[in-house]
Chain A
């Protein structure tokens, strides 16, 4: 029995350590938040283009994370992407005429939703909709715009130099 108690102690320690490691990996390494009460409220924003935005991406104001993107779906009534944002309860004074834009953190970083405050006296409430949105920038569109504007410039330039 003496022998087996040492074994029990060692095994207990090992199992404890193992589950602690698992728990740490699940809670500390992932972006999932385990809030017991689902505090906070939901706001909807419609975008023409969400780019690489994913559920779980941060929602920030002036760089401060105030919530997360909860869901992204496509709305066939408006033919736009519907993004549901969950804002933490403590940030409940966001003016109603604020604007939301999809921005990129760094060159290779993930995309997030940035909210710029408006000036209205009334605030966004649960289920409210952000009217002013700015879509994600798609690199291909940017390049094609640039190329087309270049192409449009050229004939004029040659005409000027021709005569």
Chain B
């Protein structure tokens, strides 16, 4: 009984390490191909469209509501200390450093990551990838790399749009509904936020972009060539992306604090 449990644990540990090794190998292969992929920008642009432009509506809508909630909650909290004018500062720090990059990454994993994984998984299941290999076309360079790069490029832009819309959402609630002074809202924000704070968010979203795109692409490309395999790859993409994003967020925050 105990032996079986230990063996089970050992097996899952080995699986996890193997997967990590697979990721490292795949990432190295992708990064090595980046310069050559940029020679064919058409493919990358198409994927920026898929990952970025098509996610725009959900990102903007989420940003608006996250900002509005921040405005309400922040106002309630700050009102207790009699410093409602600091609402802009509080909202800006929350959005730029944490919520913007993290929520964008989670939404990205749900919207674009699953699309990537299922697309690649279906290509695998319908032997399209094998067919490319038959024709001596490298599927990693032709199919995977543009998708990866598209996600990496789209993520920081999406996060910036999210934060900006969020700031206006919070302003909508804080200023129009709760009666914070508009000038105070923006000027206190401006006085407190420095360029390093904005950059922290950009760096974070860049790292999340690499992580989420890599996970989606890897899971899709290595899915089992069955209908079930595609479904499992999609699920794994969302689960792994979410956990990795939150883990990386803590580590990046600790480093850049």
Which residues of A come within 8 Å of B, CB atoms? 4, 7-8, 10-11, 13-15, 17-19, 21-22, 24-26, 28-32, 56, 58, 106-110
Contacts and interface: CB of A to CB of B under 8 A. Distances in A.
A29 B49 contact: no
Contacts of B198: 25-26, 29-30
A58 B49 contact: no
A38 to B, nearest CB: 17
B52 to A, nearest CB: 5
A29 B167 contact: yes
Nearest to B150: A11
Contacts of B158: 18
25 contacts: A7-B45, A7-B46, A7-B49, A8-B49, A11-B46, A11-B48, A11-B53, A14-B49, A15-B52, A18-B52, A18-B154, A18-B161, A21-B157, A21-B163, A25-B160, A26-B195, A26-B198, A29-B92, A29-B198, A30-B190, A31-B193, A56-B194, A106-B83, A107-B82, A109-B188
Interface of B: 42, 45-46, 48-49, 52-54, 56, 81-83, 85-86, 92, 96, 154, 156-158, 160-161, 163-164, 167, 188-195, 197-198, 202
Given A22-B160, A108-B81, A30 B193 contact: yes
Nearest to B188: A109
Contacts of A8: 45, 49
A22 B202 contact: yes
Nearest to A16: B157
A77 B49 CA distance: 61
A30 B49 contact: no
Contacts of B195: 26, 30, 32
A109 B53 CA distance: 40
A17 B161 contact: yes
A24 B191 contact: no
B161 A32 contact: no
A122 to B, nearest CB: 32
Contacts of A107: 82-83
B7 to A, nearest CB: 50
List 7 A-B pairs, minimum CB-CB distance, nearest first: A18-B157, A14-B53, A21-B160, A11-B49, A10-B53, A21-B164, A22-B160
By CB atoms of chain B within 10 A, which of A30, A58, A108 has the most? A30
